[in-house]
Structure 1
Amino acid sequence: MMMVDFLKKQGYLFICLGLLALLVIALFWALSIGTVKLPLVNIYNTVVEQLFSGQPIEGVDRGPVHDIVWLLRLPRLVLAALVGMGLSVCGVIMQAVVKNPLADPYILGISSGASLGATAAILLGIGVALGENFVGIAAFIGAFAMSLGVLFISNLSGRSNSVKLLLAGMALSAVCGAFSSFIVYFANNKEGMQTIAYWMMGSFAGAKWETLAVIGPIVVLAVMFFWTQSRMLNLMLLGDESALTLGTDLHIYRQIYLLVSSLIVGFVVYAAGMVGFVGLVVPHVIRMLVGTDHKKLIPVSALTGAVFLVIADGLCRVIIPRTELPIGILISLIGAPCFVYLMIKKTYGFGGN
């Protein structure tokens, strides 16, 4: 029995190490492709030189290879990895919080809140005083406000539970969608509508090191926090009644997890626009491989999400020559067929009773 447990543990560690190695390989591959193709040797030398030089990244006369790697491609790839990591873990958490295998970071209305904030900013000019990134900031405020609204409504007439959270999210999502459509209908702004459409499809092209310095610690710390909560997340799959018999009240934990997840999604929306589907597909695929234990599920999902979006971002820049395909379109085209295939071929269980 001890030998079986040891082999299972070694298999889990092997998967994590393999994903880390795959992430590094994917980063170097994505750095080498694009309008200007770069040899891997040049990329490696540029990366090592910058890391050990002690000089600022945006130095003068550092050479074209340095500028392409450190100012254009690497920031967007780091953002892609962070977005994939954050959305995948948020998908795991949302599915446990509402005890619904179809949940993802947007099912509780967070997506609609972000969309409403961005639509109001683009077409009505709300938040222009916040600076050049006012659209992303407005989307972040909308996403976070929506999560607070879901919590408030789900706690009316008694304490919230997974069903009330889900229903509150669906109701508020419909309201936000209606308001967004109302603004678009009366704004009569073709340029603004095109901006909204492009923003809704997601892009990592606007990544900057200053933004990553804020988003990176938030996503990493949130993922580590959720990893420490694996026991509570496992209890959520059993349901509130089973948890109470074990002496644990899940009410406060459910609300804290929802707020932290909304914080991640809000910053992701701020930096990259709407990037959906990752939080739904990745947790399901990883659950087929490592089971439903969140102690294993969270780190493996985080690494898989990072690898998935880094590779997807690289493909977006080379599929159509001299044109960048929106990341949301490619993710849906790749993810949906793979997800259907895995669901057909694999024996799958969500967990719980």
Structure 2
Amino acid sequence: MDKKAIISKSRININEGAPMYVGVSLILLLILALSIGFAVNLGSVDISIKEVYSIIFYKIFGIGNEEILSNGAVHDVVWLIRLPRIILAMLVGIGLSVVGIVMQAIVKNPLADPYILGISSGASLGATISVMLGVGAIFGSNAIGICGFIGALVTSMLVLLIANIGQRANSIKLLLGGMALSSVCSAFSSFIVYFANDAQGMQTITFWLMGSVAGAKWEQIMFIMPFVLIGTIFFLTQHKILNLMLLGDEVSITLGTDLHKYRHAYLIIASLMIGILVYASGMIGFVGLVIPHIVRIILGPDHKKIIPIAALLGAIFLIWADILSRVIIKGTEIPIGILISMIGAPCFILLIIRNTYGFGGKS
């Protein structure tokens, strides 16, 4: 096959399916707005819709009576408890979905998820060291999250280092390096837990690993929001390279593009985003695995289309997962990670049974 034929084969018609893309985008934006409105009005404390939105409009636009809307129990429930967890759920959904798409392109494996390169095990080891050995106590209540972030980031950097030993990294070496480091981190976590013999500490780690957005605070959200939004925008601008990654290194070199440096840069940025999300919400699986497949089934493999759609769908999914975690059992809250795994695993099995787990629908 000559170069012109390869170029023609590798092109993705950006106008193909454009009406569907626009229609899906508008529908998801409307659903997202309605989901936020419904979620902020839902809770054990009965607050009218008028009170909810009066507080929100006052805090954002300064509209309304300051004496009534700037403090009090209703203000605290709406502005300090409900809205922060909804915004955090939205950001986590966006981040996990986008990084899932990127990771699948980096390792050229439709079964990859944001934690594929040992990032989850690295985060778990960081959290275990924090709880069992008291490392990071200087960070106070954020110690587990920050140590989990450090563990995730260090692990991803080690994967990159190992994959480049001997010869340049490729998708296979990254995958194998991630699997190896994941086993090492899991072994060290188990070793620490076994010898620490701390039942309460183990319970704390287990709860953190289940994932939750219940402890969301505005300061935390303002910290992670730039990472998630800037990272999402950055990867959207890289849609051509991400499309090329699906074709493989041989084709990309033939077309005059060396994917080596791009793969490194994308992995670092994606790992940073995951580390930040781990810090904020603990471990939440399946979102970055299932959402990209659903979007690809609808719109195909073009990253210019699927990244923004996946971000919207991931945000909606996490918001509703958080809603269900609060209401499915009256008087208690299920960790969101457990609920998503209960939903995500059957969905993924269904995709496998229907043979729609490839890059762009049926494989």
TM-score (norm 1): 0.94
Q: Give 3-state SS (helix, strand or coil) of 2:339's partner.
A: helix
In 2: Cα distance, 1:43 partner to 1:346 partner: 45
Q: Give 3-state SS (helix, strand or coil) of 1:112's partner.
A: helix
Instruction: Evaluate the alpha carbon distance shift between residue 247 and residue 139 of structure 1 in structure 2; reply closer, same or farther with a 3 A threshold.
Output: same
In 1: Cα distance, 2:172 partner to 2:81 partner: 44
In 1: Cα distance, 2:354 partner to 2:121 partner: 33
Residues 289-304 of structure 1: pairs in structure 2 closer than 5 A: 289-304=298-313
TM-fit CA distance, 1:204: 0.6
In 2: Cα distance, 1:37 partner to 1:91 partner: 37
Which residue does the alignment assign to 1:50? 59
Deviations 1:36-60 (A, max 9, x none): 23333332222222222189x9x99
1:63 is aligned to 2:72: yes
1:18 is aligned to 2:27: yes
TM-fit CA distance, 1:236: 0.4
Q: Give 3-state SS (helix, strand or coil) of 2:332's partner.
A: coil
Which residue does the alignment assign to 1:261? 270
Find 2:89's aligned residue among 80, 95, 98: 80
TM-fit CA distance, 1:348: 5.6
1:116 is aligned to 2:125: yes
TM-score (norm 2): 0.91
Which residue does the alignment assign to 1:242? 251
Which residue does the alignment assign to 2:4? none
Instruction: Evaluate the alpha carbon distance shift between residue 185 and residue 54 of structure 1 in structure 2; reply closer, same or farther with a 3 A threshold.
Output: farther
In 1: Cα distance, 2:181 partner to 2:203 partner: 25
TM-fit CA distance, 1:167: 0.1
**Structure 1 contact 290–297 (Cα < 8 Å) conserved:** yes
Please say which of residues 257-266 and 24-33 is displaced more in the overlay.
24-33
Counterpart residue identity of residue 67, structure 1: D
Q: Give 3-state SS (helix, strand or coil) of 2:327's partner.
A: coil
Residues 1-353 of structure 1: pairs in structure 2 closer than 5 A: 8-53=17-62, 62-345=71-354, 349-350=358-359
Deviations 1:242-288 (A, max 9, x none): 00000000000001111101001100010111111111010011110
Counterpart residue identity of residue 282, structure 1: I
In 1: Cα distance, 2:309 partner to 2:134 partner: 41
**Structure 1 contact 97–254 (Cα < 8 Å) conserved:** yes
Counterpart residue identity of residue 79, structure 1: L
Q: Give 3-state SS (helix, strand or coil) of 1:194's partner.
A: helix
In 2: Cα distance, 1:267 partner to 1:34 partner: 27
TM-fit CA distance, 1:5: 7.6
TM-fit CA distance, 1:12: 0.8
Please say which of residues 329-338 and 265-274 is displaced more in the overlay.
329-338
Deviations 1:300-340 (A, max 9, x none): 01111100000100111111111110001110112222333
Deviations 1:196-255 (A, max 9, x none): 010000111111101111100110000000000000000000000000000000000001
In 1: Cα distance, 2:139 partner to 2:273 partner: 20
Counterpart residue identity of residue 135, structure 1: I
Which residue does the alignment assign to 2:9? none
Moved over 4 A (4+): 4-7, 342-348
TM-fit CA distance, 1:20: 1.2
Number of aligned residue pairs: 348
**Percent identity between the aligned chains?**
57
In 2: Cα distance, 1:347 partner to 1:329 partner: 25
**Structure 2 contact 55–70 (Cα < 8 Å) conserved:** no
For structure 1, which runs of at least 5 residues remain unmatched after alignment?
Answer: none
TM-fit CA distance, 1:15: 1.0
Counterpart residue identity of residue 236, structure 1: M
Instruction: Evaluate the alpha carbon distance shift between residue 61 and residue 214 of structure 1 in structure 2; reply closer, same or farther with a 3 A threshold.
Output: closer
Counterpart residue identity of residue 347, structure 2: C
**Structure 1 contact 317–325 (Cα < 8 Å) conserved:** yes
Q: Give 3-state SS (helix, strand or coil) of 1:94's partner.
A: helix
In 2: Cα distance, 1:194 partner to 1:51 partner: 39
Instruction: Evaluate the alpha carbon distance shift between residue 348 and residue 203 of structure 1 in structure 2; reply closer, same or farther with a 3 A threshold.
Output: closer
**Structure 1 contact 119–183 (Cα < 8 Å) conserved:** yes
In 2: Cα distance, 1:273 partner to 1:175 partner: 20
Deviations 1:142-169 (A, max 9, x none): 1000011000000000000000000000
In 1: Cα distance, 2:184 partner to 2:352 partner: 33
Instruction: Evaluate the alpha carbon distance shift between residue 124 and residue 6 of structure 1 in structure 2; reply closer, same or farther with a 3 A threshold.
Output: closer
